[in-house]
Amino acid sequence: MKEYQSFIGGQWVGSQSGKTFESINPATGEINGIVAEGDEKDVDLAVKAARKAFESGPWSSMAPSDRGRLLYKVAQKLWENLDYLAETESNDNGLTINETKMIAIPAAIDVLEFYAGMANKIQGDTLASPSNRFNFTLREPIGVIGAIVPWNFPIMLTMWKLAPALAAGNTIVIKPAEQTPISILELARLMQEAGIPDGVINVVNGRGSSAGAALSSHSDVDKIAFTGSTATGKLIMRAASNNLRPVSLELGGKSPNIVFEDADIEEAVNGSLFGIYFAQGQVCAAGSRLFVQKSIYDNFIDRFVSKVESIRVGNPLDPSTQMGPQVSEQQLNVIERYVQIGQDEGAKLVTGGRRNQSLGGGFFYTPTVFTDVSNDMTIAKEEIFGPVVSIIPFTDEEDALSKANNTIYGLASGVWTNDLSRSLRMARGLNAGTVYVNTYSMLDSTAPFGGNKQSGFGRELGIEALNMYTKTKHVWVDLSKEKLNWYGF
């Protein structure tokens, strides 16, 4: 059995308490590895190591071009280990090997390359000032970043924080999710091998309520970056408020995906399938409320459901598998509870709605479709985070917009139409951080990603994210020959 320790100050160390926990492979229910379980004490050691590396290490004082060059070298190392990282992540969380190898890991490395290129493009301003003074701004790293990340895309969602943080000269402590402790440790190991100095990246596994809480309330962490549930986001914001530390929160969603009668129906069906079933529905931006215009409602559902029923569920490491297991037994239970509530509240269960027992001890569920859902049902309001779509009919643009925006969330949204003006009216009207037109769930390193309302705040990716990992310092230089003497002394 493989054992994993915490990664602190460039060293592999056991937990201070000596405690460990088992990491389960969701495809088999078997133990994947034994992992050191960190708590407050381990987090404190990691923060100290990150502080030391920030204050005295070579990282924050390195020439920005050198830092960028080193990050490119790290990215090259990750490309060389793409297959290994993809398999490790698939074993950790059950994503199919196609999802990790073709999407999640390459997207993560692309993000690293994007910010490697940004390292020497972080610049302040020379301000408009009179001839007797000189005012300029410096953009400086913030310091020690605390990153708390979830289990659905561990490496990618870590990289969204790690890459801009490192490019700007910060150091970081990462707390992975308890369900997926291994892939981020392997990422850190490879990054160290490629030359990242000790203490710049630290990884401590452990429970959210101990290690996570300790990191978010630590007085020597300068900024908290979190991706996960809205409920935990609120706890993190509260914890960070003790030290008044800035937080960025990328939380849950109940994103509307809207199909108009003038759309290409075949394309809309295919894109909407990806929008909800990609990563077994464990996507914060998932198009889990699928709005279909009444005039095409029956036709759309027929075509959608017949494709849903032919999705191949199975061993995530088999390249012909289209859907793997859910991440944990606990998530399976959540899904089952919501499917029951959906039926109790009168939605029509058209397909799925049960575990897939034929695949051994793994946490497999059958892709599920509810139709005749109304926007006020629980399954249209709450995030299920599984392969369950709620199809809701609508009449016209106004009806679609008012239903789509009637949610506590505001992460993503989709519009399928061949009417250019309509797509842009909808793009303006939708209250969400992202609007997809004639596609769904696409990401790009250049494109800011984040939510409105209870989906959080702050934008990851793109040039914009660098603002979350730098702070502005204004320098005022008095050039005048006659200096200020207000008191006339």
43 versus 118: smaller Cβ distance to ligand NAI: 43
Which helix (H) or strand (E) covers residue 141, if one does? strand 133-141
| 175 lies in the site for ligand NAI, by CB under 6 A | yes
Sole residue written with tokens 């139409």: 417
DSSP letters for 277-336: HGGGG--TT---EEEEEGGGHHHHHHHHHHHHTT--B--TTSTT-SB---S-HHHHHHHH
Q: Has 266 been annotated as catalytic? A: no
- Determine the interface stretch with ligand NAI among 38-46, 95-103, 144-152, 393-401 (rule: CB under 6 A): 144-152
Q: Which residue is nearest to ligand NAI (CB)?
A: 208
| 451 lies in the site for ligand NAI, by CB under 6 A | no
Smallest distance from ligand NAI to CB 84, Å = 23
Q: Are 452 and 307 in contact (CB under 8 A)?
A: no
Per CB under 6 A, the list member of 385, 409, 416, 436 interacting with ligand NAI is 385
388 versus 400: smaller Cβ distance to ligand NAI: 388
User: One symbol per residue from 46 to 65: x for binding ligand NAI (CB under 6 A), - otherwise; what is it?
Assistant: --------------------
- Determine the interface stretch with ligand NAI among 5-13, 105-113, 148-156, 424-432 (rule: CB under 6 A): 148-156
CA nearest to 396, candidates 294, 301, 300: 294
Q: Are 228 and 251 in contact (CB under 8 A)?
A: yes
Sorted by sequence, the CB contacts under 8 Å of residue 407 that are 6+ apart come out as 254, 256, 289, 381, 453
Annotated active-site residue in 284, 383, 397, 460? 284
98 versus 152: smaller Cβ distance to ligand NAI: 152
Sorted by sequence, the CB contacts under 8 Å of residue 489 that are 6+ apart come out as none
The strand order across the sheet containing 436-437 reads: 348-351, 368-371, 388-394, 289-293, 256-259, 414-416, 436-437
Q: Has 284 been annotated as catalytic? A: yes
Residue 203, Cα to own-chain centre: how many angstroms? 17
Give dist(CA 216, CA 219) in Å, integer. 9
Q: How many residues bind ligand NAI (CB under 6 A)?
A: 25
Find the binding residues for ligand NAI in span 207-236 (CB under 6 A).
208-209, 212-213, 216, 227-229, 232, 235-236
| 205 lies in the site for ligand NAI, by CB under 6 A | no
| 338 lies in the site for ligand NAI, by CB under 6 A | no
Positions in the binding site for ligand NAI (CB under 6 A): 148-152, 175, 177-178, 208-209, 212-213, 216, 227-229, 232, 235-236, 251-252, 284, 334, 383, 385
